[in-house]
Chains A and B, each alone.
Chain A
Amino acid sequence: MSTWLWLIPGSPFVGALTIALLGGRLPAARLPWFACAAAGISALTVAAAWLGGAAQEPLRQTLYIWLAVDGWQPSVGFTLDRLALVMVTVVSGVGFLIHVYSVAFMDKEAEQRRYYFYMNLFLAGMLVLVLADNLLLLYFGWEMVGLCSFALIGFWYRDPVKAAAGRKAFTVTRIGDTALAIAIFLLFVQFGTLSFDVLFPLGEGDWEGATAVALLILVGALGKSAQLPLQVWLPDAMAGPSPVSALIHAATMVTAGVYLIARTHPLFELAPGVQWTVAAIGVLTIVYGASCALAQHDIKRVLAYSTVSQIGYMFLALGCGAYALALFHLATHACFKALLFLSAGTLIHSAGGEHHIGRLGELNAGSRTVQLCFLVGAASLAAVPFFTAGFYSKDAILTAAWVAPVGGLLWLFAALGALLTGVYIFRVYLTVFHRSAEPLLRPRGRLPTPIAVPLLLLAALSLSVGFLEFPEGSGGPHTWSTWLESELDLAKHPEHHTTRVLQALSALMAVAGIALAFPLVRRERAGKSLPWQSFLQTGWRFDALYARLFVQPYHRTASALARWVEQGLIEAGLNGLTRGFWVMAAGLRRGVEFGSVERGLTFLVVGLQRGHAMLSATQNGLLSRYAVSVTTGTLALLGFWLFWPWGG
């Protein structure tokens, strides 16, 4: 099986290359199915890996040495252990379903070649990221998914706002990426290797650099996973097509930060302060995202802020050492959030591109199937007790948070988030689907199969995945955490009584949240808005703040450098120098040329004239004087030859 490991990221990679180089030759109608096949082969290989024993023993494959300098040889090599197996299953599974969905969703688009190229490339990058056996290759995948995210957010690039959203996403995540890069350098300098097998476990000894490195890795994760304070790019990223939002900005890429921290968790255990920070940022983001989601009118922006908030739960779990639970929530979230995005996309599509929830409700464009799927997704997101996957994964995180340092406070924030989650998602559901007035659009007929099948499959998963891990203290199976135990330690939970109380409270929160949505929607229909509506709708005004703090000063610095240093100092200095030479030349011309040289020449000329006059005097035509001169001269010469000691 190991020899086929490369096929998991390789198949979509080859797909992307083929689309890029030969896509023009393929018939346009075949192109989507070709891309689906590339994604499908990848998913099939993952399935084969499950059957082939990857669930027990890690599979490894090294393709070739990437760089080799001075004994350090990072390779292009893959490791499929249990942690990676969870990730590749989610990525290739959801990825394949969304490729299939795209076939029907994007069929009216003109530039499908570009779309499927980046979709396939994204899958390849994401799979490289989770399969990489060293940090350098992980970074490769990390950047590749960032690129695809950029390109797909800006897929409709003719709209400058959408193109700018892509650029913003790339730039903000690059800040995190740079922190990650610095962490990689520090690890390399300290240990001389970047291979996970050698780096982790770090051994028993303390390493004082651990805090700095863990912090830098955290910043990298915050950027990719859109957590405070680097969350600003994700709501704007909704400019991309809905399947892209579902795949990249909900199910897979944005959870890369969670994967990264889970993969490097021994480092965080050496730095408890940083680990607690992970949890603290998590709970702050939960409340932040949920509160912003409350005030959005764009259905996709609600889901975007919801993603920000839900990833906060995963960070909370990571910060409490409950890595397996973080992954569990990652998996369930991938299902129900992809489901929500895909049903929202279908809805928007049939409403002719309308995003506003109020008007979507008036149009009443959703068919029964879409409504049902959205309801399942919303229920799972709100963690409706017992039936939904979201309940099992979120509930476990909440109890695990209780035992962390300052756990009570963490729990309180997380529970508040759980309450708000129910409110905001059911606000959307009720506004969009339960409109008493006469519908403007008749619900269409059957959904196209490529759309219906992924929706129904994801709905089924959103209801069933939770049964893998029953709540702590109950009699049900704990398949998930026991299976991952060999790689990720078990989460700690409070004692039996407390656990029970907490579980009951959080279940109550979900139900209370849903109940609160009803009066809220009624209020909104009456035309009243939330308090602090605009503050919440603009995401706590982070964009304006960052524009003032960073963007504008950066541009001002660049302009100032161009004006003062480049033009004012260097160019002006050079001009001054040239000018100095010119002045010197002019001065020389005046002083030396006109003064000394000219005067000297005048002297010379005058002297020559005088001399000429004197010489002319010799040529007076008197023969006797000529004869005297000739004789004197001859005598002198003779005397010279005869009597000069060295002469003759």
Chain B
Amino acid sequence: MPWLTVLIFLPLVGGAWIWVRANGQVEYARRGALFVTTVELVIVNFVWLVAEPGGDGYLYIERHAWIPAVGIQYLLAMDGLSLVLVLLTALLGPIAVLVSWNAIQHNWPAFAFLLLASQAGIMGVFLSFDLVLFYVFWELMLVPMYFLVGLWGHERRLYAAYKFFLFTVTGSLLMLVAILGIYFVHGEQTGNNTFDYFQLLNTDVSGTRGMWLMLGFFVAFAVKIPLFPVHSWLPDAHTEAPTAGSIILAGLLLKTGAYGLLRFCLPLFPEASAAFAPVGMALGVVGILYGALLALVQEDMKRLIAYSSVSHLGFVVFGIYAWNLHGLSGAVILMLAHGVTTGAMFALVGMLEERSKTRQLSEFGGLLSPMPRLGAFLLLFTLSSMGMPGLANFVGEFLVLAGVFQHAAGLGVAGALGIIFGVVYLLWMYQRAMLGALRRERRWVDLKRREMVSLGIFAAAVLWLGLYPAPFLDILQGPLGVIMESGPHLSTGEVSGGQ
């Protein structure tokens, strides 16, 4: 059974089916979308359970010729790294449907199709090992997201969608150039023109040429992550997107950037990346502190969480460029943790917005008394976000810092300041929203069953990752070890840019 193809095309075909067949019936569309995403989740879990790693560490590989004349294949593969991210993608699917249940007011069938199509695109990104195919999926996930923001978003949705599109398209064009570059370099060296990732791994790209090609990839990924100073699309897109869109954006789209670094930037251009690592770590630490500081002065709760994403993803990049097993494992765990934590935070803000039609912190206050359940969930995810041990983010942040300290204690200390900065803005947010006297006289309704289910799934994931991350760390050791080996034998101290 070609499981990987199923994973990608089930949401796409399912979504199209819903769109065509729904005839404008809302109930049909959302039940159908829930069904498709749930089936997808079941399949992913099944795939995880029955997976047996081959000799090369890959659990599944599917290879078919596509356009042989120029060496393009339909090449899908899954290793541990892809697996955990596919798991996250599948997990967020049903939740995105559940939180949209009543929030989406018009044209549910089209919404369902676009949501599922972006999920399919993201699945494809995590599973493609042919660079052209990767590029196709990379763009495929962008287009539905553009429409999700632009059609179902809030007040300034067109501006946000436009900005999001321009930023990412600019980045991905550079990546396309870099893809063609490495294709020709490889062809020149071996006489074999191919976009096959496994073969391109052996390409010898060094010197300035390697650096430029690496930067082409890096910029595309940096925009997606997003790194300071190309993060500017993120607060707008997050804020204006519908809740499900924010969850997909924060939970998954940002991860594709970090995934790209891990999958392409580092292994394809080890030398250039190693030379670049101090800059990468510095960009990471700037992102950590800058995001945390900016989050403090936001009035819009969604914008605040968006800036907290900049801070967390800074940690991810920090760990990736530390380039040792601790840093890399921490970065991937933090990607998962951020996916569930921030996804849950966006879901919560969405629930608040459904009840009050506002996201402004100044309009909230004292909400813990009418909504104790919502308050308890928000506290749980806030704590996870600030790196409370026993919850998801801590494991990632701790491993990242443990990795960084092996190379550059100075940078590590700067990153550790993020622990303090995080507590400042997150507690401030919690206090303004939940504590104090009830500010506005309105009838607040506590969480309903459907909302409890979606948040409960998030909560379980946060606790699992925090208390027993071993299953995820185990399946990551193989692929991350490969990335380690691809490195130009960094020993302690070689990347000590921060000392």
Chain A residues with a Cβ under 8 A of chain B:
20, 64-70, 72, 111, 114, 136, 139-140, 143-144, 147, 150-151, 154, 157-160, 163-164, 167, 170-171, 174-175, 177-178, 181-182, 185-186, 188-189, 554-555, 557-559, 561-562, 565-566, 569-571, 574
Contacts and interface: CB of A to CB of B under 8 A. Distances in A.
A565 B329 CA distance: 33
A143 B296 contact: no
B409 A186 contact: yes
Given A68-B473, A68-B474, A188-B402, A170 B293 contact: no
B412 A185 contact: yes
29 contacts: A67-B470, A69-B325, A70-B477, A72-B326, A114-B372, A136-B398, A139-B389, A140-B390, A144-B389, A150-B427, A151-B379, A157-B436, A158-B369, A158-B436, A160-B431, A167-B427, A171-B420, A171-B427, A174-B423, A177-B419, A178-B419, A182-B412, A185-B402, A189-B402, A555-B296, A555-B297, A558-B294, A558-B297, A569-B229
B390 A67 contact: no
Nearest to B407: A189
A211 to B, nearest CB: 14
B329 A69 contact: yes
B371 interface: no
Contacts, number: 129
B469 A67 contact: yes
Most chain-B Cβ atoms within 10 A of its Cβ — which of A70, A167, A188? A70
A174 B423 CA distance: 8
Nearest to A176: B420
Interface residues of B, number: 53
Contact of A558 (B293, B435, B470): B293
Among B293, B294, B428, B431, max chain A CB count under 10 A is at B293
A590 to B, nearest CB: 25
B383 interface: yes
B472 to A, nearest CB: 10
Given A163-B431, A178-B419, A558-B296, A158 B366 contact: yes
A69 B399 contact: yes
Given A557-B293, A574-B232, A158 B437 contact: yes
B101 interface: no
Contact of A174 (B163, B297, B420): B420
Contacts of B434: 157
B218 to A, nearest CB: 19
B427 A561 contact: no
A174 B473 contact: no
A188 B399 CA distance: 11
Given A558-B296, A559-B297, A562-B297, A182 B416 contact: yes
Contacts of B329: 69-70
A419 B312 CA distance: 51
Interface in B409-453: 409, 412-413, 416-417, 419-420, 423-424, 427-428, 431, 434-438
Of the candidates B436, B467, B473, the one having the most CB atoms from chain A within 10 angstroms of its own CB is B436
Contacts of B420: 171, 174-175, 178
Contact of A186 (B293, B376, B405, B427): B405
Contact of B389 (A140, A170, A570): A140
Contacts of A147: 383, 388
A395 to B, nearest CB: 39
Interface string B278-312: 00000000000010011011000000000000000
A321 to B, nearest CB: 29
Interface string B379-391: 1000100001110
Contacts of B417: 178
A147 B465 CA distance: 19
A70 B293 contact: no
Given A66-B468, A66-B469, A189-B409, 5 more contacts: A69-B326, A69-B399, A143-B390, A185-B409, A189-B402
B454 interface: no
B401 interface: yes
B250 interface: no
Interface string B238-274: 0000000000000000000000000000000000000
Given A181-B416, A188-B402, A143 B436 contact: no
B436 A163 contact: yes
Contact of A143 (B366, B389, B427): B389
Contacts of A562: 294, 297
Given A140-B389, A140-B390, A561-B294, A67 B423 contact: no
B381 to A, nearest CB: 13
Indicate the member of B163, B366, B401, B435 with the most A CB atoms within 10 Å. B435
B416 A178 contact: yes
A185 B419 CA distance: 14
A138 B238 CA distance: 37
Contacts of A570: 229, 232
Given A157-B436, A185-B412, A561-B293, A69 B477 contact: yes
Nearest to B386: A174
A68 B470 contact: yes
Contacts of A188: 402, 405
B406 interface: yes
Nearest to B389: A140
A114 B329 CA distance: 36
B44 interface: no
B150 to A, nearest CB: 18
Contacts of B436: 157-160, 163
B277 interface: no
A70 B325 contact: yes
A26 to B, nearest CB: 16
A604 B290 CA distance: 58
A144 B390 contact: yes
A163 B470 contact: no
A537 B297 CA distance: 33
Nearest to B328: A69
Contacts of A559: 297
A171 B427 CA distance: 8
